[in-house]
Chain A
Amino acid sequence: MSRELEPLADPGLPEHVHRKADTDPIAAKRAERQVAVLFSLSGAGTLLFIYSFFFISEETFIFVPIMGTTNAHQLGIGIGMAASLLFIGFGAVHWAKTLMPDQEVIAYRHEMKSEEQDRQDLVATAKEGAAIAGLGRRPLIKRTLAAAAGLAGLPAIILLRDLGPLPGNALNETNWATGTRLVTDPGDRPIKPSDLEVGGVAQVMPALAPGKKRSLEDIAKDAVLLIRIRPSEFQLDPERLSWTHEGIIAFSKICSHMGCAVALYEQTTKHLLCPCHQSTFDVTRAAKVIFGPSARPLPQLAITVDSEGYLIAKQPFSEAVGPSFWERKS
């Protein structure tokens, strides 16, 4: 015998149990007073808000346990507003729970689907409408309308064309050129190798043409990190070694993963760490990725010194800086 045929009987809704306030007028009166007190507390909260807003100076600080020293103006308006709202809510819910009827009532559901007759009527009406319009008999109209409607969507897309310029070669270029001086950021002072001690790190930018201002777009591709270690610690091929100068090595500071600033340098391990996704680069091995999600080393900038002894770029970056993109040559 199938199990579903003999489920336990439904005993029906349990009998309603009255609350104290339903039967005892004193309890009902007490509940009424409680609700009134709660609503009054809300009023007090509003007063606290008004008082704090106008009469507590924004420079007043008070000590509050747990929170420590706190701005009294901010705390006063915040707590006042919170109380004015909370106690309306508490009052209303308490009212509903103690004094409003708590007997559950039953309503009946209807099946979502329409009556069979209504469905058939709809089909008939729709068919009739289509027949009058004659779409079935006049395929030419149907097809040209579909094509026109499809084409009419094009202007909506084409209109967006001037949202921005085409990329062109922008992602492959930086302001680093052969002979560009490295300057400190901030400060814009040219630097000499002796300005950087072994173990030191500095953020540098390409020197600007006189009168030009550095934009955020420039920083987003030009930022370079200078790191000085003992030359004997490098494990580089001869070409990359020739891109360093007296133990100073320069990398793009823009992460090759997603473009964050690779700002954490750990002196003891000679690792660069990107705080966004923890890609870790080994400075001694041309910023080889030793951990994390980045797939490429940070681009290295070839540096040397000019006749005055200031650090300059030997040549532009040999690859695009920053995160990967479809057209990037690897």
Chain B
Amino acid sequence: MTARERVAGTVANYVDERTGAAKWMRKNLQKVFPDHWSFMLGEIALYSFVILLLSGTFLSFWFDPSMQHVKYEGSYQPLKDVEMSAAYASALHISFDVRGGLLMRQIHHWAALIFMAAIVVHLMRVFFTGAFRKPREFNWILGIALLTLGIVEGFLGYSLPDDLLSGTGVRIAHAIIQSIPVVGTYLSFFAFGGAFPGYVFIPRIYIVHVLLIPGIFLALITVHLMLVWYQKHTQYPGPGRTEKNVVGYPLMPVYMAKAGGFFFIVFGITAFLGAVASINPIWLYGPYTPGQISAGSQPDWYMGWLDGLVRMAPPLETYLFGYTVSWNILLPGLIIPGIIFTGMALYPFIESWMTGDKREHHILDRPRNVPNRTALGVMSLTFMIVALINGGNDLIATHFDLTINQIMWFSRIGIIVLPPLAFVITKRICLSLQRADREAVLHGKETGRLVMLPHGEYIEIHEELSPEKKFALTQHEQPKAIALVTEDNQGVLNPKGIRAKLQARFSAANAENIAKPTASEVKELESGKH
């Protein structure tokens, strides 16, 4: 036994005598994780969160969340002696008079953009592969909560510097609060401590941004990861992979090295962006004042869809009994986002109801094999993308020489017409891909080699797939439609009535697939071909 082993042994013994962790530790160090590039997306979100905590802590050492007026006396000459809030002045101080301050500010902002992007792409991976199915519905809901919180946290974060751009964003948030029927005016006066902009909003959102939401984040992320750990990761289909096993690499040492290394890579790339790519140059915008604005005002990308919806809303207000309801703000600002996020959170339960499938699933779906879900996902994305495009309508207009009106009308019509169209097209593409899979399994893949037969006929050589590949393409289940029972054999009407009818319709649509090859079909072709 070497000296080092003796020391390690003593420490381990000390800890284990007090915690009894040996068995648990051993088991978890051998924990198996399946390997796939798409499983890194959630990791990127997690690592960005750590980067945000680190860089945010650094910024908090200098940032002064106060709206008191000060005269700027830092080293950035163009704003010398300009009156501004202490918050803006301290953000300038971090940018120009703290070494590494600008770098950390840019890393913080880039990390926030990457955080949100990673969450969204991770969500898409989970959705399109059906990873949210039983038993992982709770984790899906936690994920939606994290996404929602992330949007709020990001918005509060870029509102803090109190520059002209972010102040404009706060002005819009204020208008959304104020538009809420009955209580809106009161809520806005409570939130802002009086009329807009007041003196308390920045200090208040500061504590929410640096303490409240990060605390909730930390708790939710912990549960999110514990559930992944406890339920074991899903895996893609393939030979040797079943619903009852996990095939992959052990945590120690492979995953520790890969995941640990990946953290440094994500941090390194974020630092690189912070070093070379300017982001949110607040000194160019100047301090916030409600009487001014800069053209081309844009929120961060994850708010763009919301701004796009607000921009395309019809100019609708109703006045009833002396009270005003601003549909032009309520609809795009609260009602539609509310429907979208609630629908997303409930989707696992909706799908399980539509298909009648209540079993556990650990093998992921290939998106083409579930055409309805895939089409629904692409439909929702299309909606979001049209909204996002309209959020940048002023920039698109200037860059592509269009008028704002053209883009606005494209969006207003497109947001209604394009999503259903995307649904139909996606479903057709999925079915075509299923057909291609079937062809490949039965007749092999095309090689591009043409051969002339003795009697002059040309044929293309098809190469037979390996048994592994054939299995991977055919291992999935094809659901059957739920038969509609209108009345039982005594003639009693089904008490579920319309719900049963709806479920039958949905499950029939869901069962629309190209029949996958069966073992006997494959055998028949194999014996006949050679």
Please list the residues of chain A having a beta carbon within 8 angstroms of any beta carbon in chain B.
3-4, 6-14, 53, 58, 67, 73-75, 77-79, 81-93, 95-97, 100-102, 104-109, 111-112, 160, 163-167, 170-171, 185, 203, 205, 216-217, 219-221, 223, 253-254, 257-261, 263-264, 275-279, 289, 291-296, 322-330
Contacts and interface: CB of A to CB of B under 8 A. Distances in A.
A81 B196 CA distance: 41
Interface stretch (B3-11, B419-427, B444-452, B468-476): B468-476
A217 B196 contact: yes
The residue in B35, B188, B292 that gathers the most chain A C-beta atoms within 10 A of its C-beta is B292
Contacts of A12: 239-240
Nearest to A111: B360
A185 B291 contact: yes
B135 A294 contact: no
A278 B408 contact: yes
Contacts of A79: 272, 275-276
Contacts of B307: 277
B103 A77 contact: yes
The residue in B171, B192, B200, B232 that gathers the most chain A C-beta atoms within 10 A of its C-beta is B171
Contacts of B196: 217, 220, 259
Nearest to A3: B518
Contacts of B319: 330
Interface stretch (B119-127, B249-257, B336-344, B504-512): B249-257
Interface string B142-171: 000000000000000000000000001001
The residue in A4, A104, A296 that gathers the most chain B C-beta atoms within 10 A of its C-beta is A104
A106 B246 contact: yes
A264 B232 contact: no
B14 to A, nearest CB: 29
B276 A78 contact: yes
Nearest to A205: B291
Contact of B245 (A4, A14, A53, A109): A109
B258 interface: yes
Contacts of A101: 249, 254
Interface in B436-455: 441
Contacts of B182: 326
Contacts, number: 321
Nearest to B244: A109
B175 A323 contact: yes
Contacts of B332: 293
Contacts of B310: 258, 277, 293
B257 A89 contact: no
A167 B189 contact: yes
Given A81-B103, A96-B253, A293 B315 contact: yes
Interface in B478-530: 478, 515-520, 522
21 contacts: A7-B474, A8-B474, A78-B272, A84-B268, A93-B262, A106-B247, A109-B232, A109-B245, A217-B198, A254-B290, A261-B291, A261-B293, A263-B292, A275-B294, A277-B310, A289-B315, A292-B311, A293-B313, A295-B326, A326-B183, A330-B319
A253 B292 CA distance: 9
